[in-house]
């Protein structure tokens, strides 16, 4: 067997071993582990990540205090001492977590609390901290 064929053969065996037996070369059978992380734990972590920045907490409080109306990102940009691009990233993180929703009406974007996910997050955190 030429050196080239040996190298290719060895890599193919390594790839097959990885997918069949996991990362450890000492395992002789494929072991399936149970997933200890629940969907609720993933949601709490997602909401927690969104709340992990004081600017995002401010944004949520600002929107929660103005539940009777949606707020434009420009209004928040005038209040916060951060660049509009930074505000946009914070709003994107909150929107990705599902805590806020946005409506694009060019050139403006209105944001408000997502009431369903807001209530879900409130209940999940209350249950979590009750333990």
From residue 110, how far is each of 23, 91, 100, 117 by CA, in Å?
Answer: 48, 11, 10, 18
pLDDT confidence of residue 9: 59
List per-block mean pLDDT (blocks of 10 residues) for the chain, which spans 131 residues. Answer: 56 65 54 84 96 96 88 91 95 96 88 95 95 77
pTM of the model: 0.70
CA atoms within 13 A on the CB side of 63: 24
């Amino acid at each position: 067997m030429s050196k080239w064929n040996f190298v290719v053969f060895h890599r193919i065996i390594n790839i097959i071993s990885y997918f069949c037996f996991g990362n450890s070369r000492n395992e002789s059978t494929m072991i399936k582990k149970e997933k200890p992380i629940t969907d609720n734990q993933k949601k709490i972590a997602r909401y927690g990540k969104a709340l992990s920045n004081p600017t995002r907490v401010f944004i949520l409080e600002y929107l929660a205090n103005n539940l009777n109306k949606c707020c434009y990102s420009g209004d928040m940009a005038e209040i916060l001492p951060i660049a509009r691009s930074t505000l946009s990233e914070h709003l994107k993180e909150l929107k990705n977590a599902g805590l806020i929703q946005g409506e694009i009406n060019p050139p403006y974007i209105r944001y408000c609390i997502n009431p369903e996910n807001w209530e879900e997050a409130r209940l999940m955190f209350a249950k979590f901290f009750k333990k």
